[in-house]
Chain A
């Protein structure tokens, strides 16, 4: 019962915070709500025996990506943002489609069939510790995707520098 209670609290908070994120007029507020949202998601991960993912969620998302967002928002200094409408003319259409997607997919949830359980039972993970199990998998079976991911990050870094750099007057 306790776990259900906790889940209901987190789920409720996540939904509400998500809505707050997309409906705030001031982007700074959005970013701050999102920070709170990510902490809640990290908390949810802890329920799922994914401590490492929770840590990553906090470090990368809350610590990295959101700070990046915050910087950009402050850099752009969007004063007029507060004076005009936050939604485009497609607001209702967007809402309809998002609702449609929600309804359609939730209808299909009942026909979900879980795959046969794998070997990483909770006991095994507890015995081996989560990070070790994950690391073993990541550095053996998924070593190539892992290297590719590092390459993607490198490309993103260079790309971001090139794009954001002020053009030198020639």
Chain B
């Protein structure tokens, strides 16, 4: 008996939601970035599962691009973290209020 598609979708949703939770609640910016990676991975699971079940490789291609963009995003994000840490000596997002209107 094969695993139903909806199980995979539920799993991907769970990973994504955990990512959302982490992003919304943690104060450490590195953990927030990791939460973003979690969300992207949740999406990737969904894409690849669908690609398998619909028998169309384009889902995997999309996942491939997601990984590429995630790598770029991580590099830039962490560079920003370093620049910010150098200026403010903190990694806590709630201490940064420069953008206040």
Contact = CB atoms under 8 A, between A and B. Distances in A.
For the complex, would chain A's binding face be called helix, strand, loop or mixed by DSSP majority?
helix
B79 A15 contact: no
Contacts, number: 239
Among B34, B44, B94, max chain A CB count under 10 A is at B34
A68 B33 CA distance: 12
Interface string A119-146: 1111001000000011001100010010
A163 to B, nearest CB: 4
Interface in B49-83: 49-58, 60-61, 63-65, 67-76, 78-83
Nearest to B2: A3
B30 A69 contact: yes
A41 B27 CA distance: 26
B61 A34 contact: no
B52 A48 contact: yes
A76 B91 CA distance: 8
A50 B75 contact: no
A130 to B, nearest CB: 9
Contacts of B72: 152-153, 155-156
Interface in B29-53: 30-31, 33-35, 37-38, 41, 44-45, 48-53
B47 to A, nearest CB: 9
Nearest to B74: A65
A149 B1 contact: no
A61 B35 contact: no
Given A72-B82, A122-B55, A163-B83, A102 B17 contact: yes
17 contacts: A7-B7, A15-B18, A22-B22, A38-B41, A41-B41, A48-B52, A52-B60, A53-B48, A53-B64, A65-B74, A101-B16, A115-B54, A156-B76, A162-B79, A163-B82, A163-B83, A166-B86
